[in-house]
Amino acid sequence: MTPKRLLLENDEQAIREALRNLSDLTHAAIRGAVDAMARGDMNKARQVVDGDAEINELNAAIEAACFSTIATQQPVASDLRAILAAGHITWELERIADHAVAIAKITIDSVPTGLPPDADIQSMTSNASQMLKRAIEAYLKGDAEAARALADLDNEVDKLQTQLDRRILQGMSDNAHEIETGTHLLWIGHNLERIADRALNIAERVIFMVEGEIVELND
């Protein structure tokens, strides 16, 4: 292996490890935000909001590393696709974290009444989290087929959101006292659906990285 090739592979490995760390922080933000909502835990919700700064810093560092590697190592073909994919995935993770922060802020805004537990939201959280986990695993393993399989989970999240929206809107129509709480739950569902969509975007970038093909899953 030439010194130049070794340097490129070291740079790519460092980017993958940093992206894995960013993914872990993003997962923690999602879990923390939804757990704070379920428990009415304002302190945990504020921790999610405060933790966004670390995610933003790591996102910026990974993007800078991607740009630096492209500029100094001049990668081509699959190496270039891997670095471009990493930069895009990093951006998607940062936006997913923003959705988690939005959920945490909704929880904070719901004081003093709090938000009731909701089975559809819990199911959406579980599915969206699984999508993100599997998308990152597909990226780290270079597994395009695993990335394609995420389309089914995205469909399930969409169905759950539709079910949630119909139920909450009907409750708001029947009882005006439910409007504020219902609005909060609708926005939480919206953010979870967007998390799933962004996880699917990551899956699409994995396919591009592996196969060199730009696809739209569930277009």
Handedness of CA 80, 27, 33, 126 (dihedral sign): positive
| Count of Cβ atoms closer than 10 Å to residue 133 Cβ | 13
Question: CA-to-CA distance for 112 and 160, rounded, in angstroms?
Answer: 28
The pLDDT of residue 219 is above 70: no
* Residue listed under structure tokens 């428990």: 39
User: What's CA 142's distance to the chain center, in Å?
Assistant: 19
Find the mean pLDDT for residues 1-15.
84
Question: CA-to-CA distance for 156 and 126, rounded, in angstroms?
Answer: 11
Q: In this predicted structure, which of 34-43, 112-121, 157-166, 198-207 has the lowest mean pLDDT?
A: 112-121
Rg (CA), the chain: 19
Which of the listed CATH numbers 1.20.58.220, 3.30.230.30, 1.10.1060.10, 1.10.645.10 matches domain 3-211? 1.20.58.220
In this prediction, residue 218 carries a pLDDT of 79
Handedness of CA 150, 129, 195, 70 (dihedral sign): negative
**What pTM, to 2 d.p., does this model score?**
0.94
CB hemisphere CA count around 76 (13 angstroms): 1
Q: Give the pLDDT confidence of 191-200 residue by residue, as tens digits.
A: 999 999 999 9
